[in-house]
Amino acid sequence: MIIPYLYLLNPGLCTLVVDLGRPRWRRFGVPVGGAADRFALAIGNALVGNPPETAALEISLNGPTLTTDGEVACVLFGAPFKMTIDGLAHEAGKTFTLHRGEELRIGGTPSGLCAYLCVRGGLQTPVILDSRSSLEPLPAGAELPCQNGVIHVRHFRHDFAWNAEPRLLRVVDGAQADWFCIDEFYSQSFTVTPASNRMGLRLHGAALTLPERELESEPVCPGSVQVTRDGQCIILGVDGQTIGGYPKIAQVISADLDKLAQLRPGETIRFQRVTLAEAEALYRNKQAELREWLTRLRTAEAFAS
């Protein structure tokens, strides 16, 4: 059997192979990594008939140009990137078959920041520490093994209920929340600065009053909101470190972690304090919505087959 490849003619701004990362390796200091917006990855994979954790391409702000030497069933899902196939416009969120020699060009997006190019059968790149996720952005000329496949047209909306307020981040108190004047944190808006990436979002706002104490390094995780020595905040992302010495004023709840992936430099955000019980309920609601959509998509795929 001949294995088809996707070829990166142009890598775009930051194109990565991602799955659900390496959560079991954090005790060794290895960041989780993987997809920054796991909801979008799961839906994109479901559209092409894959399990949620299947490896795909994560595309940020400006996408790559690709071609193939086979027939590959694809969808681009997440932020509404502009894209063309051999110069003809194609809509993100709608499945398509990329045929041998066709050129898929993914441009920019008017809103959001990242999306996932999912292919039926997933990308068959090497497994390192239980994951296919890239350790660095893919270069021009990268060759990505996949599987042959064709697909009928399917389409999915972008406006999820859980993302109705993308610039509102709900948080619970961080481990050192009582070190700060908490009203200074919740009463203002913060701007996402250009010095942000998958390791973390660096924010700018009115400087918080610093506590008169120091913190020894201790465990941190994606969504931890740390306060630096200049009184500004950083929200750790999926590639963030596993320990840190800045105090943690808040923790973004699990239900809102995917929002971090879609925040662009220059956008303003604000934080809303919730209880642990509310955070648990919001997480359950989001997971229930995801399960419902995955069930619908699997059912639709079974009827179409």
In a domain, 293, yes or no: no
The phi, psi pair for 166, rounded to 5°, reads -65, -20
- Domain with residue 183: its CATH number is 2.40.100.10
Residues 224 and 269 in one domain: yes
Residues 148 and 175 in one domain: no
SS3 readout for the chain = CCCCEEEEEECCCCEEEECCCCHHHHHHCCCCCCCCCHHHHHHHHHHCCCCCCCCEEEEECECCEEEECCCEEEEEEECCCCEEECCEEECCCECEEECCCCCEEECECCCCCEEEEEECCCCCCCCECCECCCCCCCCCCCEEECCCCCCCCCECCCCCHHHCCCCEEEEEECCCHHHCCHHHHHCCCEEECCCCECCEEEEECCCCCCCCCCCCCEECCCCEEEECCCCCEEEECCCCCCEECCCEEEEECHHHHHHHCCCCCCCEEEEEECCHHHHHHHHHHHHHHHHHHHHHHHHHHHHHC
pLDDT for residue 301: 75
Residues 142 and 262 in one domain: no
Residues 99 and 140 in one domain: yes
pLDDT bin (cut points 50, 70, 90) of residue 164 is low
What mean pLDDT comes out for the span 39-59? 96
In a domain, 287, yes or no: no
User: One-letter amino acid identity for 49?
Assistant: G
In a domain, 50, yes or no: yes
Residue 166 has pLDDT above 70, yes or no: no
Q: What is the token pair recorded at 275?
A: 């209880």
Last residue of a domain, one of 158, 182, 211: 158
Residue 24 has pLDDT above 70, yes or no: yes
Residue 1 has pLDDT above 80, yes or no: no
For residues 26 and 238, give the distance between their C-alpha atoms in angstroms, rounded to a whole number: 11
Which one is predicted more confidently, 135 or 248? 248
What mean pLDDT comes out for the span 67-74? 96
Residues 211 and 266 in one domain: yes
Give this prediction's pTM. 0.94
Give residue-wise pLDDT tens across range 143-160.
Answer: 999 999 999 998 886 555
Instruction: Determine what percent of the chain is predicted with pLDDT higher than 70.
Output: 95
pLDDT for residue 305: 60
Residue 298 has pLDDT above 90, yes or no: no
Residues 188 and 149 in one domain: no
Which one is predicted more confidently, 164 or 199? 199
Residues 144 and 261 in one domain: no
pLDDT bin (cut points 50, 70, 90) of residue 2 is confident
Residue 12 has pLDDT above 60, yes or no: yes
In a domain, 261, yes or no: yes
Give residue-wise pLDDT tens across range 27-42.
Answer: 999 999 999 999 999 9
Residues 130 and 90 in one domain: yes
Residue 165 has pLDDT above 90, yes or no: no
Residues 188 and 247 in one domain: yes
Q: State the chain's mean pLDDT as an integer.
A: 93
Give residue-wise pLDDT tens across range 214-268.
Answer: 899 999 999 999 999 999 999 999 999 999 999 999 999 999 999 999 999 999 9
Lowest-confidence pick of 17-26, 39-48, 163-172, 269-278: 163-172
Residue 303 has pLDDT above 70, yes or no: no
Residues 131 and 235 in one domain: no
Residues 239 and 260 in one domain: yes
What mean pLDDT comes out for the span 114-118? 97
* Host domain of residue 60: 5-158
In a domain, 76, yes or no: yes
Give residue-wise pLDDT tens across range 189-206.
Answer: 999 999 999 999 999 999
Residues 174 and 226 in one domain: yes
Count: domains in the chain: 2
